[in-house]
Structure 1
């Protein structure tokens, strides 16, 4: 038995319509109606969370005034518990990823954890252009003693004083 070209075309149309329906359904179900080109992802163990920047000036450098507002927004969000959050145990590994266009601009990431010899700050990813993932670090090295660790991701050119975008995540240390 052979298929004729009409049957093949009809089958192809069903596959294309089905794929489009599934793709649209996934986007609607996740609340994503359009693509965001400025995203950061925090990975803890086998789970991750994706966020838009807390501070963003449409792709232009964030001015000094906007940086002050950004820090106030971050402080308030941290106090209210509204930052994107992940639970972590010390045996987990932690990493950060960014969208390709963020990587093209350049980015770095750090936590307010780490040893006092590091100034109470741990670098998850030193400044670089191109790579989209920091690699994963042992959580035991990136966490601070308070049980709540702030992860900061910054997009910007290292030769500029003003970042382009800033993301904040919170890690909540759990008992193993």
Structure 2
């Protein structure tokens, strides 16, 4: 028994409509009509963590007061275990990525690791526009000696470094290999 072209087309239409309905239901259930265009992703080895900004002012620059409040809240979240966290070993490679919307404005990323010659910071991504990925670097170069390294990602136009639009934080827990 063979199916006619009309029956196959009708079944295909039902599948497409059903998939659209499920997709719309998921978006409705999460309260979003589409994904956010402001996300950052931390890659450690072969795993990754994608998050929304820790601090964001709906596309407007954060005021100085909002920036201070953001740092305070980040410190509290770090103490209480509220930052997105990944385990890392020194032999892993790490990198940070952002959405094209963030890359178009500009961004940078660093850690509170690195040696004294680097001022206690390791730059994962220098202030730049257009690039969506920092590149992959050896974790050993970027880790803090305490075993708890914080990665800060900032959306900021390199031509206006004081205008900060979004901030993300990640925590790396160093594991013994």
- Cα distance in 1 between the residues matched to 2:130 and 2:147: 32
Residue 82 of structure 2 is matched in structure 1 by 82
How far is 1:2 from its partner? Answer: 6.5
| Secondary structure of the structure 2 residue equivalent to 1:172 | strand
| Secondary structure of the structure 1 residue equivalent to 2:146 | coil
- Tell me the C-alpha RMSD between the 2 structures: 2.1
Residue 174 of structure 1 is matched in structure 2 by 175
Flag structure 2 segments of 5+ consecutive residues without an equivalent.
none
Residue 95 of structure 2 is matched in structure 1 by 95
- Cα distance in 2 between the residues matched to 1:88 and 1:63: 34
- 2:40 and 2:50 in contact (8 A); partners too: yes
| Secondary structure of the structure 2 residue equivalent to 1:159 | coil
Structure 2 counterparts to residues 2-81 of structure 1, below 5 A: 3-20=3-20, 23=23, 33=32, 34-81=34-81
- Cα distance in 1 between the residues matched to 2:2 and 2:174: 62
For normalisation by structure 2, the TM-score amounts to: 0.90
- Cα distance in 1 between the residues matched to 2:31 and 2:81: 23
How far is 1:19 from its partner? Answer: 3.4
How far is 1:26 from its partner? Answer: 7.0
Residue 135 of structure 1 is matched in structure 2 by 135
- Cα distance in 2 between the residues matched to 1:140 and 1:164: 30
- Pairs aligned (count): 175
- Cα distance in 2 between the residues matched to 1:108 and 1:90: 22
How far is 1:131 from its partner? Answer: 1.1
For normalisation by structure 1, the TM-score amounts to: 0.91
- Say whether 1:155 aligns with 2:161: no
